[in-house]
A and B are shown apart, each in its own frame.
Chain A
Amino acid sequence: AQKVTQAQTEISVVEKEDVTLDCVYETRDTTYYLFWYKQPPSGELVFLIRRNSFDEQNEISGRYSWNFQKSTSSFNFTITASQVVDSAVYFCALSEMGTNAGKSTFGDGTTLTVKP
C-alpha cells in the first residue's frame, strides 16, 4: 500500500521568509511518480511538479525548489522569499507509473499562511 505523510499540518511565515514543506512517502513499487499540488482558497488544484522515481535531480523553478531523496523517501518542497499569494494548502502525492499514473495517493496537506 502507498502512503504519503505531510507531518506539518499548518505553517505560518512572514513574507520574504523561506519555507520548506516536508513530504515522506512509502511504497513497494520500484518506479513511481511524486507530485506537488497547490490548492488556493478557491479550491482548484494546481499542478506544480511531477518527479520520476529514477530521477533524483533536484529541481528549481523560480522561487520553488524540490529536494528528492530516495534514500530517505522524502520529496520536500521549498519556497524561497515567500509571498502572500503563496498562501494555500499544498499536497504531496504519489502514484504508480504506467496506466495507473492517475491514481494518486495524497498526503493530508500542509496549510501555508504567509503574512504580510
Chain B
Amino acid sequence: GAVVSQHPSRVICKSGTSVKIECRSLDFQATTMFWYRQFPKQSLMLMATSNEGSKATYEQGVEKDKFLINHASLTLSTLTVTSAHPEDSSFYICSASGDYNSPLHFGNGTRLTVT
C-alpha cells in the first residue's frame, strides 16, 4: 500500500486563486520531504526540500513567495501555489523517506490545472 499520500490528486482552479497540496507520510516519520514538478512529457525537477520545523530550501529559480512550503509535523508537508496562473499548471509530486537508508517513496502526484 501507499506509504506517502498526496491530496488532492487533481485540482482545477481559476487564475489568481491559491491551491494547497498535502503530502503525508503514512507509516513513518519524515523530517525531510521533497517537492518536485513535472511538465507534460518532461522529467521531474526538484523544487524544494521541506524541513520539519524550519524553512524550506528552494532550488534555484523557484519562487519562494509563490510556492509556499510548510512542514509543521513529521508526517505532513504542504505546498501552496499562491496566485496561480495558467503557467503553473503542472504535475506536482512529493517524496519522503524515513531516513536516508530507506528507499524514497513518492506520492501519487497532484495534477494542477489553472484556467
Contact = CB atoms under 8 A, between A and B. Distances in A.
Interface residues of B, number: 23
B67 interface: no
Interface size on A, as a range, is 20 to 34
A109 B43 contact: yes
A102 B34 contact: yes
A109 B44 CA distance: 9
Contacts of A108: 42-43
Interface string B26-37: 000000111000
B82 to A, nearest CB: 24
A5 to B, nearest CB: 11
B46 A43 contact: no
Interface of B: 32-34, 42-46, 49, 91, 93, 95-97, 100, 103-109, 111
